[in-house]
Amino acid sequence: MLRQRVITALALLAVLLPLLFHSRPEPFLVFSLLMVSAGAWEWGRINGWSPRASVAAGLVFGGVMALWWWLMGLALPVYVWVLPAVLWVVGGGLLLRMGVPGWGKLASGLRISAGFVALAFAWVAMAQARTAGINFLLSVFFLVWAADVFAYFGGRAWGRRKLAPTISPGKSWAGAYTGAVGVVVVATVWMWVDRTWVLDSPSVYSRLWQASPLGGTLALLGLAAMSVVGDLVESLVKRSAGVKDSSQLLPGHGGVLDRIDALLPVLPLVALLMSL
């Protein structure tokens, strides 16, 4: 299992890194759109759609987003980003309160459309972040990864009180707290790097800190918390569907949704903060 995970990770990096560091953002945007479209296919599968309908959903989703990119561009007014913010902060909180049984009680159309809307906004926010600069996009990625990695080790060391035992038994409050601390540590180091070296763009940490040190710190803690919400919501949906992974598209890692679940709320929230 570990060997398979490593091989898949290396293969993804071999494809992703040249696209990410390309002088133009378009190659990365095309690749990320393909991956998010695969996530739309997975979303249809785990919500009860037939294989054919799920494939069609992924293709249509990718086509619509590509057409939007071509016709309208990627810039969105600030008020538009309020929609995914409310969807995740309010809707995500209500979903976790309802628990696994509550997901199946929602109308099928609502469940499907909510997932597609979340994926669409996440991709546009990712595209905007890459257009802003490689350093900016990487800092957003590392915010989520730091919250996850620090939470894993903090949970293993001190995780006695479970965060959401019926949704994700492995997560603990101690893990959530250490994840937030990890984000602050990474932000501190990254801002020092921003000041020390000339990079293509300021990081999300520097931009939030320059706007307001206190407000920026609170925003980072909020983003760390929302990364946990994204992870838990996807786990809730999978438990309701009775599946362990969103797919087996990435051997050893599960599916695309399993890898980007924590990014889904963070990316549009970052876009909202930057717009403000």
Q: What pLDDT, on a 0 to 100 scale, did the predictor assign at position 198?
A: 85
Pick 121 or 77 by higher pLDDT.
Answer: 121
Residue 84 CB-density burial (10 A; 0-12 exposed, 13-18 middle, 19+ buried): buried
Which positions ≥6 away from 78 have C-beta within 8 Å? Answer: 272, 275, 276
Q: Which three-class secondary structure state does DSSP give residue 107?
A: coil
> Which of the 8 DSSP states describes residue 170?
E
Q: Does residue 67 have a pLDDT over 90?
A: yes
Alpha helices, DSSP H, located in the chain: 2-20, 26-46, 51-72, 82-86, 92-105, 108-132, 134-158, 173-196, 204-211, 213-241, 256-260, 263-275
**What tokens does 249 get?**
């598209």
Instruction: Give residue-wise pLDDT tens across range 182-233.
Output: 999 999 999 999 999 989 999 999 999 999 999 999 999 999 999 999 999 9
Q: Does residue 276 have a pLDDT over 70?
A: yes
Contact 111, 47 (CB under 8 A): yes
Q: What pLDDT, on a 0 to 100 scale, did the predictor assign at position 6?
A: 77
Q: How much is the CA Rg of the chain, to the nearest whole Å?
A: 18
Residue 33 CB-density burial (10 A; 0-12 exposed, 13-18 middle, 19+ buried): buried
Domain boundaries, the chain: 2-275
Q: Does residue 262 have a pLDDT over 60?
A: yes
Q: Does residue 1 have a pLDDT over 70?
A: no
140-150: average pLDDT: 96
Which positions ≥6 away from 1 have C-beta within 8 Å? Answer: 252
Amino acid at 60: V
Q: Does residue 32 have a pLDDT over 90?
A: yes
Contact 256, 36 (CB under 8 A): yes
Q: What pLDDT, on a 0 to 100 scale, did the predictor assign at position 35?
A: 96
62-87: average pLDDT: 93
Name the residue among 211, 61, 71 with its Cα closest to residue 121.
61
Q: Does residue 58 have a pLDDT over 60?
A: yes
107-123: average pLDDT: 95
Residue 32 φ/ψ, nearest 5 degrees: -65, -35
Q: What pLDDT, on a 0 to 100 scale, did the predictor assign at position 129?
A: 96
Which positions ≥6 away from 114 have C-beta within 8 Å? Answer: 87, 91
Q: Does residue 38 have a pLDDT over 90?
A: yes
Q: What is the mean pLDDT of the chain?
A: 94
Q: How many CB atoms lie within 10 A of CB 7?
A: 12
Among 25-34, 152-161, 216-225, which stretch is predicted with the lowest mean pLDDT? 152-161
CA distance 171 to 168: 6
172-188: average pLDDT: 96
CA distance 221 to 83: 21
Going by pLDDT thresholds of 50, 70 and 90, the confidence category of residue 2 is: low
246-252: average pLDDT: 89
